[in-house]
Structure 1
Amino acid sequence: MSLRTAGSVLVVFLWSVTVVLGQNGWSVTYTTQSICTLKVSTVEMSCSIRYPSGKVTTTLWFTKVYDVDNYVSLLDDPDYKGRVTYREDEENGHTLTITDLRERHSATYMFRFITDQTRGKYFGSPGVTLSVTDLQVKVTTTWWSMTLTCSTTCTLTGNPTYTWYRNSKIVQGASSSSSYSVYFKTDDSFYCAVKGINSPAVCECD
């Protein structure tokens, strides 16, 4: 029996959880505090801001701070080149999109903004924790059966559903269970896919 995994594409949209952090009229409201998603996938993080007066002149999402007031915008970070975009709406909403994720992009993401007022600078902490994991297939065998399980190092966000293929034909579809059992030996190939993923993890059973 051999195992191999392929890339995956999954877009995660999160809007249900509100986290408000702020003081003296300043705040950043994140839609969630943690996300677990798959390698090679696309993720969106969103927040809204509040401030007492003035006009916003600078906005940025960041993961790195090198010194006081030296925040590295993801748009300028070589690790994210060609992968990130920002979007702002009319109600002070700010959305970060990262494509083609890698495990090295697992980090805490925070939003910072600057206004035209004196000392008008603020960032929201603790931010959003992103965990990027790979999709693997684990096999548990007994003398009479074999159980295949789609496995990740963290619990995927968004209540994913799993589909199992046997020789490219669906044998278990749209299930909340990440496991599939086979009750006899076989040389067939089995494929596990999470909803929205183009290239599933593959288990070839000899």
Structure 2
Amino acid sequence: MVMSVRMAPPLPLIFLLVIHGVSSADWGVSYGHSHICALKDSSVIMSCNYTYPTEYQIRKVFWTRNPVKVGEEYPDLSKDPEHSQRLQYLGDKQKNCTLRLSHVTQKDSHEYYFSVIADKPDLSSLIKYFTTAEDNVKWIGAPGVSLTVTDLQVESPERVTEGDSVRLTCKSSCALTDRATFIWYRKNSQPLTERRDRNNQLLLQSVRREDAGRYSCALQEHTYISPAVQLSVTYPPKSVSVSVNGSGVIVEGDSVTLSCSSDSNPPAEISWFKEKRFLGSGRIYSISNISSDHSG
């Protein structure tokens, strides 16, 4: 008996390709501060480190910020006229992505991100007919760095009485990220070098009338100075004196003007009396057609 054997048709050959190191989990960024509060006109350092899959080749690294309007593209700040002259990339194309932004203003208060454009891995040797629609990827390191730019304002009472103590405070809209030493100025921008205070306050003990004036504050090693505020010191009249106009002997029928002056804040209200009898108010008291009855 002769048996015939038929061979089954060959099954299709299936390959399972696993590519390591190309997942999004290998992309990462670490910012030194997630929130930065900086003083107007200062320089801001946004420290940054990043990682990426080794199969990718970095083509371009740059910083961007959130679009001002909905639908706008994320801009490359190095090509933005508002930033290009003030921006300095301190990093590299390997690990460091630190950025310096100088002369910041309130308009710079935004969310900033580090971004990478990289070439995709060459898989042609692994998959003969593998193709992609794009040959590079763009990656944005979000969430980024939130920058708030603030100015300084002096908070103080409008008036204080001579002999009292008063505390002036240098305030900002947010807590400054960098530790700062505050400097105080009075009158003609003369620094009060003996009044430096890390606690952003200036204490005037036993205030004198000479302490009245315009005060402003700043940070050491910064050029920005706050708007000045006026501190007024009130004190009672001192050095009161009365003078008579003219010179020589006063004769009957003449006109005489008496003037009263004093040093006080606010200006004193002056009243005139003759032998405890009220005559009038004001700095000047005039007598016309004087007679012997006005003696006293």
The answer to whether TM tops 0.5 is yes
Unaligned runs of 5+ in 2: 1-22, 121-134, 233-296
Deviation at 1:189, TM superposition (A): 4.2
Match of 1:162 in 2: 182
Matches within 5 A, 1:49-198: 49-52=50-53, 53-65=55-67, 70-89=73-92, 91-117=94-120, 118=135, 120-140=137-157, 142-143=160-161, 144-166=164-186, 168=190, 169-173=192-196, 175-182=197-204, 183-184=206-207, 185=209, 186-198=211-223
Match of 2:260 in 1: none
Q: Deviations over 1:45-87 (max 9, x none)?
A: 1212211122100111111347889321111223324221212
Larger radius of gyration: 2
AA partner of residue 152 (structure 1)? S
AA partner of residue 62 (structure 1)? T
Q: 1:203 & 1:142 partners in 2: Cα distance?
A: 14
Q: 2:75 & 2:222 partners in 1: Cα distance?
A: 31
AA partner of residue 58 (structure 1)? K
Compared CA separation, residues 150 and 46, structure 1 to 2 (3 A) = same
| Alignment check: 8 A CA contact 1:30 1:128 kept | yes
Give 4+ residue runs of structure 1 displaced > 4 Å after superposition.
65-69
Match of 1:43 in 2: 44
Deviation at 1:178, TM superposition (A): 0.8
Q: 1:91 & 1:51 partners in 2: Cα distance?
A: 9
Q: 2:167 & 2:47 partners in 1: Cα distance?
A: 38
AA partner of residue 205 (structure 1)? L
| Alignment check: 8 A CA contact 1:28 1:123 kept | no
| Alignment check: 8 A CA contact 2:41 2:224 kept | no
Unaligned runs of 5+ in 1: 1-21
Deviation at 1:134, TM superposition (A): 0.7
Secondary structure of the residue aligned to 2:78 is: helix
Secondary structure of the residue aligned to 1:125 is: strand
Compared CA separation, residues 199 and 47, structure 1 to 2 (3 A) = closer
| Alignment check: 8 A CA contact 2:40 2:224 kept | no
Q: 2:72 & 2:147 partners in 1: Cα distance?
A: 23
AA partner of residue 176 (structure 1)? R
Deviation at 1:115, TM superposition (A): 1.0
Deviation at 1:132, TM superposition (A): 0.1
Secondary structure of the residue aligned to 1:101 is: coil
| Alignment check: 8 A CA contact 1:164 1:171 kept | no
Secondary structure of the residue aligned to 1:171 is: helix
Structure with the greater relative contact order (CA < 8 A, sep ≥ 6): 1 or 2? 1
Secondary structure of the residue aligned to 2:107 is: helix
Q: 2:92 & 2:79 partners in 1: Cα distance?
A: 22
Deviation at 1:198, TM superposition (A): 2.8
| Alignment check: 8 A CA contact 2:32 2:48 kept | yes
| Alignment check: 8 A CA contact 1:112 1:124 kept | yes
Query: Which is further off, 138-147 or 73-82?
Result: 138-147
- Matched residue count: 184
Compared CA separation, residues 64 and 166, structure 1 to 2 (3 A) = closer
Q: Deviations over 1:120-144 (max 9, x none)?
A: 3311111000000011111135543
Secondary structure of the residue aligned to 2:74 is: strand
Query: Which is further off, 30-39 or 159-168?
Result: 159-168
TM-score, with normalisation over the residues of structure 2? 0.55
